[in-house]
């Protein structure tokens, strides 16, 4: 397996396929780089160099007990980008990975990043606060932690249903998709996944978004049951300096899987655009 070792001794697994302009994919919680299979194969075929890593505590990377926070996630990406000498890169982040990508671009990406894509992403802030009244209450995330600690396997078996919109009328449940989500989640570490809930829900990315000046595409399904669009994409778009917002009617949180053909087409157009 290909991996790098960070300063604190954490091994970060990564995939690096092809040549050409690099496209770096940042996965969601509690998944792995495997969640990008449909995108990596497609863009490899389009002549891009495709790179994806398993976040610390996720997938095949070290099951860390510490460092499970956005600052460290972004620093890990910076270490990977330096190791692979990634320049003129396009970073694509989904969900939690969108937060990771935004923080990396804002704090470490100078001179290395060409474009950014945020898909169903958690910025600017998921948690309801006095300054963010449209966010989700803390009880939602406390419930996730409680369910993860009580029976992670059962929790991860149920979570893909709203994630992919399989609970909507006329949307049949895909057992292979559900099993693949569960498989990826169960490979990772329980402690890292538990900590990551706070990382993706309580981190405020407002200042990161304000600092980003590269062209950015914000993509979000308007039926996203995991990261509601009103308090995420629509706010992020207003904070970014150079952004386009694309809303997908009826698409779920996991639209990169359920509607890969549409998402890949639109990503390609953005990548190739001026």
Contacts of 222 (CB under 8 A, 6+ apart): 229, 247, 248, 249, 250, 251
The catalytically annotated residue of 32, 95, 201, 236 is 95
At residue 274, the pLDDT reads 63
* Greatest extent of the chain over all pairs of C-alpha atoms, in Å: 49
Smallest CA-to-CA distance from 119 within 23, 26, 223, 187 is with: 26
Cut 0.95: pTM above it: yes
Alpha-carbon distance 105 to 244, whole Å? 17
Q: Is 224 a catalytic residue?
A: yes
Mean pLDDT by 10 residues, the chain (274 residues): 95 98 98 98 98 98 98 98 98 98 98 98 98 97 98 98 97 97 98 98 98 98 98 98 98 98 98 88
At residue 181, the pLDDT reads 98
The catalytically annotated residue of 54, 76, 208, 224 is 224
At residue 16, the pLDDT reads 98
Domains, the chain, with CATH or none = 3-272 (3.40.50.1820)
At residue 1, the pLDDT reads 80
The catalytically annotated residue of 27, 53, 193, 253 is 253
Report the 10 Å Cβ neighbour count for 19: 9
Q: Is 253 a catalytic residue?
A: yes
What is the DSSP track for 224-247?
-SSS-GGGTHHHHHHH-SSEEEEE
């Amino acid at each position: 397996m290909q991996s790098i070792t960070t300063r604190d001794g954490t091994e970060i697994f990564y995939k690096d396929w092809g040549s050409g302009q690099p496209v770096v994919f940042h996965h969601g919680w509690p998944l792995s780089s495997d969640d990008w299979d449909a995108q990596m194969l497609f863009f490899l075929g389009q002549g891009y160099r495709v790179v994806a890593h398993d976040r610390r505590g996720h997938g095949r990377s070290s099951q860390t007990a510490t460092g499970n926070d956005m600052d460290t996630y972004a620093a890990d990406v910076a270490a990977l980008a330096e190791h692979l000498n990634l320049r003129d890169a396009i970073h694509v982040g989904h969900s939690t990975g969108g937060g990771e990508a935004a923080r990396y671009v804002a704090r470490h990406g100078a001179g290395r990043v060409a474009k950014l894509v945020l898909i169903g992403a958690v910025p600017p802030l998921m948690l309801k606060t006095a300054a963010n009244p449209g966010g989700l209450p803390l009880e939602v995330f406390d419930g996730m932690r409680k369910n993860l600690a009580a029976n992670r396997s059962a929790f991860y078996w149920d979570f893909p249903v709203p994630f992919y919109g399989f609970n909507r009328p006329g949307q049949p449940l895909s057992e292979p998709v559900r099993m693949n989500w569960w498989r990826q989640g169960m490979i990772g570490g329980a402690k890292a996944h538990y900590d990551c809930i706070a990382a993706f829900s309580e981190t405020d990315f407002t200042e990161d978004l304000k600092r980003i000046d590269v062209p950015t595409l914000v993509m979000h399904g308007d039926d996203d049951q995991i990261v509601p669009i009103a308090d995420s994409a629509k706010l992020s778009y207003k904070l970014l300096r150079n952004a386009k917002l694309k809303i997908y009617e009826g698409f779920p949180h996991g639209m990169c899987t359920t509607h890969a053909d549409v998402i890949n087409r639109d990503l390609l157009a953005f990548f190739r655009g001026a």
